[in-house]
Every structure is written in structure tokens, then in C-alpha cells.
Amino acid sequence: MPSRRGAVLIVAFWLAVTGYVGYRDVWPVVAGSDPPAVALDLADEAARNVPARWTVYRTVSGHKVKAGGLTTRTTYVEADDTFRFTHEYRNLRLEVGPLGAVSVPEFRTAVRVTRGGDLREQTAEGRFEILAGGLKFGEATVRLAGAVADGLLSAAVDGSFTFGGATESLSQVLDPVPVPEGQPLTAMQPVHRLTGVRAGRRWAVHESDPVGDAIKAALKAKGINPPAGRTGHLIGEVLSGTQPLEWKGQPVACRVIDYRRAGVLEVRTWVRDPDGKVLKQEAFYKGETLSVERDE
């Protein structure tokens, strides 16, 4: 069992990295109402069989800077007729305060689902460094892995942390948590193409983060209260008409999907009209914008 400090570092890793990389939803399963108003064609994703490359940007006070890169791929697993979504982030540098930052040389996530879209396993692993005033004062390597059986996800976390010259290892099996059925379509997880993007479509997004729930339960068992998440339903809506998006130096007509919580815009997705190719995704939080833009 990791110490109290190790447990705090687990949640620090979870919040600092996944909070930026995926609108704090790299892993969480997010499905629309049944059937989803906006859907992902699994066979189409896997048939492409070519990795897509993206650039991650941060925009603060009108200044846009490159924050890293991303490669996504979808593969078909013939052995059990499932699909695996892989996201590999590289060379991320994410500001977390006036003086602090998290440097992520590499971070990889994978989600495997059935043909019907139900979750079967999730993994995430990477290295990160915590910086303050431009100086490194901590680093870590962490791997989280979970598999679903009988409607429950069982996960474990392993890793090592170095702070102040001392290194601590951790290994913990998390308590199983229930996993809802539904296609893992997240508001900020880039995919190749979306279908059903028609003006006026509006739906409630049902969010679930089973691994996050398991980590929070483990922290509470140690007497640590993790930060509360956002409250209220996330509502997705396809705006009317098309809007121009500058892509590769040319204006491209796109359908725009807005995701709002309590009326506040949190995520925006730009989908090329009419073929549904996703070109850009943006997340908005406290005056800052994090965007993921397709390179090709």
C-alpha cells in the first residue's frame, strides 16, 4: 500500500495530466442519450488504419502557444471482435499556476470497446515532471490499468515518484466499480469522424469515470478528500448552419457542436461538412482555452 504522500501523488498525477490532456476526460466514458445524437462509427475508425496527428495548443489572454503533440489510432482486435482507441501525447508542457507547470514527455492512453460500444479495458501510462519557477522538483512514472468483467471495472496503479531526492514506489489494486453500458464518446477525445451531426440536435451527455471513482474511493479510505468534480449535466447541441474554420490556410465549412454545463460553454467540436471529419476540438476553463487541431 502506498503511503499518504504516495496516495496524494496518485491524485496529483490524475488531475494535472488528464485534467489538461482531455478536458479532464481522457478516460471517462461519455455517452449521449440512447441512441446517441452524435455517434462514432467504429468500423469506419478501424478501417482507416492510419494514425491521425494533432497539435495541442493553449490560449491565454489571446496568446496561442503550442503545448505539445498527439497521435491517435483505432485498431480492430480480431481475437474478440473489439476495437482499441489509442492516444499518444508527446512533449506536453502544461501550466498549472502562475509559477508551476507539468512537463509530460510521453503519455499514452488506450480504451478497448466491443462492437456495440461497451467498455472492456482502459490503460494509461506516462512520465511527467513537476516544475516550479522553471526548476524541476519532482518526477514520476505511473501506469494505470483496468479491465471490465461482469459489469465491474477492476484496476490497479503502479509507479514511482521522486521528490526532494527521495524515491517512493507504489502498487495498489483499486476496488472494483460499476461501469455503465454505452459507447465511449468523450467530449474532448479526438476521433476521425462523427456521424449524425445535424443542425438542431440536442442531447444530454451522461458522464462516467470508473477509474477516477476507484481512485477517489482509495483516497477517501486514507482520509484524503479528493477535489469535487463539476456538477450538473453536460448538454451537447449542434449549432445551426455552418461556420468557417481556417485549416491548412484555407476556410473550411464546419458544423459546430457546443457542450455546455449550466449554460456555460465547456467544449466545442468542429466537424467538416458534409463528411463528418473532426478538424478541431476546444475546451474552455477559467479564461483559458486548450485546443487539439488536426495536422492532416
Here the cell at position 89 is 501525447
Residue 225 to residue 4: CA distance in whole angstroms: 12
Residue 134 to residue 130: CA distance in whole angstroms: 10
Domain count, the chain: 1
Could you write out the DSSP letters of every residue in 227-294? Answer: PP---S-EEEEEPSS-EEEEETTEEEEEEEEEEEETTEEEEEEEEETTT-BEEEEEEEETTEEEEEEE
Predicted pLDDT of residue 31: 44
Indicate the average pLDDT of the chain.
77
What's phi and psi for 23, nearest 5 deg? Answer: 50, 40
| Residue 140 belongs to domain spanning | 4-294
Residue 204 to residue 227: CA distance in whole angstroms: 24
Residue 124 to residue 128: CA distance in whole angstroms: 13
275-287 pLDDT tens trace? 999 999 998 877 7
- Residue 272: pLDDT band by 50, 70, 90 thresholds? very high
- Residue 22: pLDDT band by 50, 70, 90 thresholds? very low
Predicted pLDDT of residue 182: 58
